[in-house]
């Protein structure tokens, strides 16, 4: 029972991280990106490549994936949003869909269409080494995933709520024209926010990639949808909402796997999200304003 909870929280913390990235992006640009899952996939493949061909170091993989997906995010924002700032919203949406298809194809070209994994010997220590806490076992990998995801969420919260750039991001998310009139370089804030949100997706990719040790070009599709859904369930612009929704979905999935069968997990996750949205159409934290950390 407790084990299921730990499994669920581990998985859920990554959903939460992905959903948080999505929420920051939507909260600021007021635009949906459909390439978030592919940024996640990109981060995962960075992890695969570094572990397999360079050195099995988690910090290094996280760092490189962070840099790569930060740049990916900045480029996606510039191509899909900045270039189309005055175009109808649909155009940007379509371009992000196009970019996600291009990214999947690129991954097929570079890494092959087949499912790949890191040679088990290289992650043995991480995956099977375990420690006992309060009488139950947690693997190093679970601790690492949970720890990194939580650290990233705390760091993001601090960045948005307690730094001067975070203040400019919040101001821009609430009224970008007024922010522009105060001298804020709104374009730069949009690109930066998108890059930071994408970086969180990339880090989630490394974590999930290592956790399950399966990598394939379309691995981001379902997770992208799930992150989007978790973000919507959380209220779409609420950071605490995204985190709570992500964690809850992870835990529910984990119990579903335990009680029924692993193949029902997505079904259970989406049924849960649909129920929440029927009960609270604006999401768990639906009433909260733009990019609010207070979530009330």
Task: Name the minimum Å distance from CB 31 to other proteins.
Answer: 19
The residue among 249 and 284 lying less far from other proteins, judged by its C-beta, is: 284
The residue among 181 and 222 lying less far from other proteins, judged by its C-beta, is: 181
Task: Name the minimum Å distance from CB 178 to other proteins.
Answer: 4
Task: Name the minimum Å distance from CB 280 to other proteins.
Answer: 20
| Binding positions for other proteins, rule: CB under 8 A | 164, 167-168, 170-171, 174-175, 177-185, 289-292, 294
Task: Name the minimum Å distance from CB 32 to other proteins.
Answer: 21
The residue among 60 and 184 lying less far from other proteins, judged by its C-beta, is: 184
The residue among 59 and 164 lying less far from other proteins, judged by its C-beta, is: 164
Task: Name the minimum Å distance from CB 294 to other proteins.
Answer: 8
Identify whether the C-beta of residue 101 lies closer than 8 Å to the C-beta of residue 76: no
3-state secondary structure 103-149: HHHHHHHHHCCCCECCCHHHHHHHHHCEEEECCEEEEHHHHHHHHHH
The residue among 176 and 265 lying less far from other proteins, judged by its C-beta, is: 176
Task: Name the minimum Å distance from CB 288 to other proteins.
Answer: 8
The residue among 88 and 164 lying less far from other proteins, judged by its C-beta, is: 164
């Amino acid at each position: 029972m407790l084990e299921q909870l730990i499994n669920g929280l581990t998985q859920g913390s990554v959903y939460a991280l992905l959903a948080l990235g999505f929420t920051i992006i939507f909260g600021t640009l007021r635009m949906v990106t459909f390439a978030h899952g592919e940024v996640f996939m990109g981060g995962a493949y960075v992890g695969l490549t570094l572990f397999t061909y360079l050195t099995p170091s988690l910090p290094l993989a996280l760092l490189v994936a962070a840099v790569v997906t930060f740049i990916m995010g900045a480029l996606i924002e510039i191509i899909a949003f900045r270039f189309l700032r005055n175009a109808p919203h649909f155009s940007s949406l379509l371009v992000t869909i196009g970019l996600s298809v291009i990214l999947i194809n690129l991954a097929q070209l570079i890494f092959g269409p087949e499912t790949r994994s890191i040679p088990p010997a290289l992650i043995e220590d991480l995956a099977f080494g375990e420690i006992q806490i309060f009488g139950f076992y947690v693997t190093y990998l679970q601790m690492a995933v949970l720890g990194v995801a939580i650290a990233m969420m705390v760091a993001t919260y601090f960045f948005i709520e307690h730094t001067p750039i975070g203040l400019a991001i919040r101001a821009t998310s609430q009224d970008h024209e007024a922010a522009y009139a105060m001298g804020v370089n709104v374009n730069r804030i949009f690109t930066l926010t998108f890059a930071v949100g994408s970086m969180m997706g990339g880090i989630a990719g490394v974590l999930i990639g290592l956790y399950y040790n399966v990598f394939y070009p379309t691995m981001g599709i379902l997770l992208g949808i799930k992150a989007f859904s978790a973000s919507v369930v959380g209220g779409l612009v609420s950071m605490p909402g995204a985190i709570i929704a992500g964690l809850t979905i992870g835990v529910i999935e984990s119990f579903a796997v335990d009680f029924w069968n692993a193949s029902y997990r997505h079904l259970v996750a989406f049924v849960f999200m649909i129920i929440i949205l029927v009960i609270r159409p604006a999401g768990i934290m639906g009433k909260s304003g733009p990019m609010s950390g207070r979530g009330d």
